[in-house]
Structure 1
Amino acid sequence: MGRAPELLKEYRERLEGIKSPLVAEDAAWESCALQARRIIRDCADSLHRDRVEVRGSLIQQVESLGMQRATQGIYGVHSIRAGVILFDLVFDALAETVAAVPSEVGRFRAGVRALQKGIGDRLEAGALGHDTYLLNTVREVNAAGQRQLAREIHDHLGNHVNLALRQLELHELDLDLRPEDAAARLAAVKNTLTESLGIIRDLVTQLRRAEHEGTLQSAFTAFLESMEITEPQVRVQVNGSEEWATQPVLDEVFLVVRECLRNSLAHADADHVLAVVDIAPYGVHALIEDDGRGFDASAVATAGRANGVASATERVELLGGTILFASDPVAGGTRVTITIPLLDPPGEPADSAT
């Protein structure tokens, strides 16, 4: 416990090194540091008592923390990365604590198990809170869409159908009295019903718009077709609803991911290239990876030969996001992870009839 301040200091420095949003603001770091202190305390108690001591009642509070981080646009992957870093730091501290007394292996085992359980249980609770927020948000967005559809049906389609019915009633009343007006009346009914069919087609088109042109998926498909790729095998997948992001953000995401794909296709000599874009109510997350020959990202940037890397980084940072390049020039393979927060939470759109 005497080393706790030192461990927390190094913990924060490592999180800053990977540009984690958990240290971007003081409030986010304080909640992260609080959980770290509790984990360290549980490890110390387990080491001291030679049995696993993890305070489960405190872990349950993390579920609300998971919901809070979701509202802040902090992806679960950042919590996992932070957990891995904390595990490494505390594991080494536990090992150093018992290194002078080899006979205390049992205590070391209890401390490590407490470390594993403390981090694992918190990640699980945080994921539950995160999922709860996401499900509630999706439910709210779906409800807003249903309300929009109800308004469209009531205001436009319902009005036209009522008008057609009224015209038919008038036709029945006037059929015997003024038969010369029957043809005109029926023509008006036909026109009204034709307009109603047009409204129905428009509503169906809106409901299916995610399947038509203009989506990120179709844009990436068109890009890959233009490249006339024979090798390597390339797969691009877009998940989520594009309604959660503005068009300028989607345009930037496309340009950045496309640049990463171009780099892989041009330089990696890979067998497989994968790009996955996840669009959620609180942010956009993208992963691009290949199994080709890697490169030293820091060396390339220092040498001034990373125009693509610099351009992608600048675009993401201008959106308030982060981009990380991980590559191994010896073992091979490159992975790029992109996180862009969406500052405006989804809700019922003001101009919903688009």
Structure 2
Amino acid sequence: MHEAQEEERRRIARELHDRIGHGTSVAHQQLALSEAYRATDPARASAKIVVVQQAIQETMENLRQMTSELHPQTPVKNLEKSLLDFLEAVGDDSISIAFDVNGDESWVDPRVLDEAFLILRETVRNSLTHGDPTIIRLNVDIAPHELIASARDNGRGFDPANARRRGGVGLTSMRERAELLGGTVTVSSEPGGGCLVELYIPLRGQAGGPDDA
């Protein structure tokens, strides 16, 4: 009973952090950009306010879904489109983001796509919030038996050991989501050396794939 309660608390913490925390973080960031552009580029400032409104609406919807027996949102149907929409929403002209998806998403169960999206979104959000990068490279490779993704930035970097000791919810949530799918999240970084996050998720394989040979 105690273990079941602990696991449920961890699940709720992940959902709050990744679904509710994300929206508020985006809204806060875009409000700051709107204020920065207000005097020099009013049109861009107004566009940022539109993103703020969208982020708040998404957060409110996620909160309604969570409070309705804590059901998660509808699973992601297209990982590439969801990531592109997210990157467009948080985009800044001062940051170059390269993004590439290879493989057939039909090989991936919708729940796996959903979890992969949340992990990668949190990775980019962490980079933008804490890393102060000028370049982020995001790559996703999908095969019938595995999904492999990586996100690399040239930001200020950090000591992963210190992050673990501080008990950061973001990295813990990313690792737990991957582990629940039998996968892993590996973080490589050092102060001043940028950050690399690698995601691996094994897939069961679809008809005609290696697992069915």
TM-score normalised by the chain length of structure 2 = 0.60
Give 1:1-354 correspondences, 5 Å limit.
214-304=77-167, 306-329=168-191, 331-342=192-203, 344-347=204-207
CA distance in 2, matches of 1:300, 1:328: 11
Q: Matched residues in 2 for 1:307 and 1:332: separation? A: 22
Rg larger in 1 or in 2?
A: 1
Contact 1:217 1:236 in 2 (8 A): no
Distance 1:297 1:312 in 2: 14
Q: Distance in 2 between matches of 1:228 and 1:325?
A: 23
Q: 1:274, 1:288 within 8 Å by CA — same for their partners in 2? A: yes
Partners in 2 of 1:348 and 1:318 — Cα distance?
A: 26
CA RMSD, 1 decimal: 1.8
The one-letter code sitting in structure 2 at the alignment partner of 1:261 is V
| Matching residue's letter, 1:347 | A
Q: Compare the two structures and name the one with the higher strand fraction.
A: 2
Shift of 1:283: 0.7
Displacement of 1:225 after TM fit? Answer: 1.7
Amino acid at match of 1:332: G
* Residues 108-164 of structure 1 deviation map (CA, whole Å, 9 limit, x = unaligned): xxxxxxxxxxxxxxxxxxxxxxxxxxxxxxxxxxxxxxxxxxxxxxxxxxxxxxxxx
> What is the DSSP-based 3-state SS (H/G/I as helix, E as strand, rest coil) of the residue aligned with 1:340?
strand
Structure with higher RCO (Cα < 8 A, 6+ apart)? 2
Deviation at 1:272, TM superposition (A): 0.4
Residue 196 of structure 1: aligned partner: none
**Partner SS state of residue 345, structure 1:** coil
- Separation of aligned partners in 2, 1:303 and 1:324: 17
The amino acid that maps onto 2:177 is: R
Secondary structure of the structure 2 residue equivalent to 1:263: helix
SS at match of 2:186: strand
Partner AA of 2:199 in structure 1 = I
What letter corresponds to residue 340 of structure 1 in structure 2? Answer: I
Partner Cα separation in structure 1 for residue 86 and residue 166 of structure 2: 30
Gaps of 5+ in 2: 1-75
The answer as to whether partners of 1:241 and 1:279 remain within 8 angstroms in 2 is yes
Q: Which letter does structure 1 place at the counterpart of 2:156?
A: R
Aligned residues: 134
Partners of 2:208 and 2:189 lie apart in 1 by 42
Q: Is the 8 A contact 1:216 1:254 kept in 2?
A: yes
**TM-score of the superposed pair, with normalisation by structure 1:** 0.36
Q: Deviations over 1:22-63 (max 9, x none)?
A: xxxxxxxxxxxxxxxxxxxxxxxxxxxxxxxxxxxxxxxxxx
Give the CA deviation at 1:214. Answer: 4.3
Per-residue CA deviation, residues 158-211 of structure 1 (Å, 9 max, x unaligned), is: xxxxxxxxxxxxxxxxxxxxxxxxxxxxxxxxxxxxxxxxxxxxxxxxxxxxxx
